[in-house]
Amino acid sequence: MLAYAVPEGRHPDVYALDVLSQILSGGKTARFYRQIVDTELAVQVASTNSIYYDPGLFTIAAYLSPSGSRETVQKTLLSCIEDLKTGGIRGEEIETAKAQIRSQAAFQWDGQFKITGALNEAIGIGDWPAFAEMRKRIDAVTLSDVERVLRDYLLPDKVITAYLVAAASESPAAAGAYEAPGHDRQKPEAGPAADLEHFSVDKSTEQTQFVDKAQLHQAGPVRLITLKTKIRDVVALSGSFLGGGDAYSKNPLLASVTAGMLEMGTQKFDKYAIAELLESRGIDLNFEAGSERVEFKASLLKQDLPTAVGLIAEQLRNPVFPEEELKKIKTQLDTTLRHQMTDTEIIAMGEFARQVYPAGHINYEHTLQEQLEALHAISAEGLRRFHRDHYGPQDMVVVAVGDIDAQELAKSVEKAFAGWPVKSGALEVPRTAALRPAAKKIVPVPEKRNLDVYFGHGLPLKYGQREYFAMSFASFILGGDFIARLSNRVRDEKGLTYSIYSTLDGATDETEGHWDVHMITTPRLLDQAISETSSVIGDYALNGATAQEFKRMKTTIAGKYKVSLGTTRALAGQIRRVEEMGQGYGFVDEFPRIIESLTLDEVNEAVRKNIQPEKLQIVIAGDADKT
């Protein structure tokens, strides 16, 4: 990490420094990606202009690849900065950086919580008008401003350098693990401070009656659901199709690598052309393989919606899987997996899944070593074959929420996906959650003094059943927040854990999942923590929830659900998920009514039937022998 001193948040130079940060590391078109990540010296480079009431730091963090030495990466980072000073910054770099910041700014008006947070940040630095004037201030930044702050602040004799050096038995930090000190600068869309009242806050999520506002369209092979809101200029897309998920291959990483390679080039565009299309417009787009479906999510400005739809279709339909890009992705994933081999939470979670689900089950987790071996068995031809066999518009759902023209979007979607052949989406895999005899397993992780502990077992319920929702309610009473039963007893009263939560996971409308409790503790407190947690679970299974707990949690769950739908992106994702699971998008409205209709007797019956202390699987990861 390199760090340079920069002024307080009220200083006019902070806006030029924001633009400079984007030029250095704001995507694949940025300087650091091309010169450091793309040359495989590092798996990621991130720069951040942190903003405080007092002076702060401009930081640059690099996560080294196996082929990158500290000395080489540091030298290259500093060389990139000096090249900017001597070779100059291109005008298109400034415009791309501004577009990215403007897009981020627009999404700061995406719901009351985001508005409140952004305004609070501006107040915190002592400049609340920055909230209203941010776009104006960013637009005013010139090329000469950026060149000046580059010369004035990123000085070679003023840089602070720090290394985090892993022990010989450990591995480099994972890509994406970096979080800069301080706060990332959040940039709300706005005009002059006097015009704050011009921006309407969308209140459509205060009463969840989306079924009357949403529209369902059959856009060629795609089920398109649109919901227009009062949030100005911004749109969130969330889509998926059946097929292409992890369960469609015996290689546990093939599906994920296939999805990850979609941004690395298509028949029309190489990876830099894709990056230029996205970054010059400030579009945030990513693809991900789930257990059965390939998912894509995008946040963008209204005027860029046709571009985004066309690009998504091109990436899904016509990827080329370049050999050289596969090699780089495999290097990055190798680094990540080796880091995860020392992450006690990931290790405990994976081992718990193997204790609960049999091999072959759709929720089964392969070991990290098995994943590492599977990674190196992947070939470009294997990716092409997997894509050819499993990518298609089968059961394809796309949800668009925000400032949209539904009819125009439907035309764009139909045109983009017309003629894409449907592939087989059916899977014959185990989907039941068997209950096994109680067991306890310790996974040693040397020198890890914090222990991650999982308790739980399979849950023979599917999403959508009323009993599933009663059990979800019961789990929240047990450990859903900091005033739930487990937290009260194990954390607050006994002081045996940093955090403890109870959740349901893994269930769909076709697949049974599991119930688990996750706790973090220390070797010295482990035995007592397990004893107290087991005691609370046993008492709950025997006696259930009290009327007071039930009443309080009913209000809490309903409130949390409404808050969770407070942004276009979150709302689009939730609509997509319930549509995928056969509930229909109207279920977004129905869920709070189900919660309201549950009775204490139903919740306690779900506890009695589904929490079975004699079947508890307990998994501990860390250096449990340390005292």
Tens of pLDDT, residue by residue over 366-387, are: 999 999 999 999 999 999 999 9
Q: How far is CA 521 from CA 246, 353, 444, 613, in A?
A: 32, 20, 15, 21
The pLDDT value recorded for residue 132 is 79
Question: Is 577 in a helix, a strand, or coil?
Answer: helix
Residue 561 — pLDDT band, cuts 50, 70, 90? confident
Q: Cα–Cα distance between 336 and 485 in angstroms, integer? A: 36
Q: How far is CA 49 from CA 183, 198, 496, 516, in A?
A: 9, 30, 38, 39
Residue 174 — pLDDT band, cuts 50, 70, 90? very low
Is residue 50 within 8 Å of residue 7, measured between CB atoms? no
Q: Cα–Cα distance between 20 and 125 in angstroms, integer? A: 20
Q: Which tens digit of pLDDT belongs to each residue from 123-162?
A: 999 988 888 788 889 999 999 999 999 999 999 999 999 9
pLDDT at 247 over 50: yes
Is residue 393 within 8 Å of residue 222, measured between CB atoms? yes
Averaged pLDDT, 483-504: 95
The pLDDT value recorded for residue 204 is 44
Q: Which tens digit of pLDDT belongs to each residue from 179-231?
A: 333 333 333 333 333 333 333 334 444 455 777 899 999 999 999 999 999 88
**171-185, 277-291, 608-622: least confident range:** 171-185
Averaged pLDDT, 411-417: 97
The pLDDT value recorded for residue 449 is 85
Structure token digits, residue 17: 């420094």
Q: Cα–Cα distance between 350 and 344 in angstroms, integer? A: 10
If one counts every other C-beta atom within 10 angstroms of the C-beta of residue 295, the result is 21
Structural domains present in the chain: 2-184 (3.30.830.10), 210-417 (3.30.830.10), 439-622 (3.30.830.10)
Residue type, 106: A
What's the count of helices (H) and strands (E) in the chain, helices before strands?
22, 15
Q: Cα–Cα distance between 380 and 254 in angstroms, integer? A: 10
Structure token digits, residue 496: 């045996």
Residue 103 — pLDDT band, cuts 50, 70, 90? confident
Phi, psi values for residue 498, rounded to 5°: -80, -40
Phi, psi values for residue 179, rounded to 5°: -130, 120
Q: Which tens digit of pLDDT belongs to each residue from 250-274?
A: 999 999 999 999 999 999 999 999 9
Averaged pLDDT, 67-83: 92
**70-74, 125-129, 504-508: least confident range:** 125-129
Q: Cα–Cα distance between 378 and 251 in angstroms, integer? A: 8
Q: Which tens digit of pLDDT belongs to each residue from 44-57?
A: 999 999 989 999 99
Structure token digits, residue 457: 């077992």
- Name the residue among 604, 38, 56 with its Cα closest to residue 329: 38
Is residue 615 within 8 Å of residue 457, measured between CB atoms? yes
The pLDDT value recorded for residue 175 is 37
pLDDT at 22 over 60: yes
Q: Cα–Cα distance between 263 and 199 in angstroms, integer? A: 35
Which residue in the block uniquely carries the two structure tokens 């007893």? 489
If one counts every other C-beta atom within 10 angstroms of the C-beta of residue 114, the result is 17
Query: What is the DSSP annotation of 333-349?
Result: HHHHHHHHTT-HHHHHH
If one counts every other C-beta atom within 10 angstroms of the C-beta of residue 30, the result is 25
- Name the residue among 227, 207, 212, 206 with its Cα closest to residue 586: 212
Which residue in the block uniquely carries the two structure tokens 């539904």? 406
The pLDDT value recorded for residue 199 is 34
SS (H, E, C) 19-41: HHHHHHHCCCCCHHHHHHHCCCC
Q: How high is the mean pLDDT of the chain?
A: 89
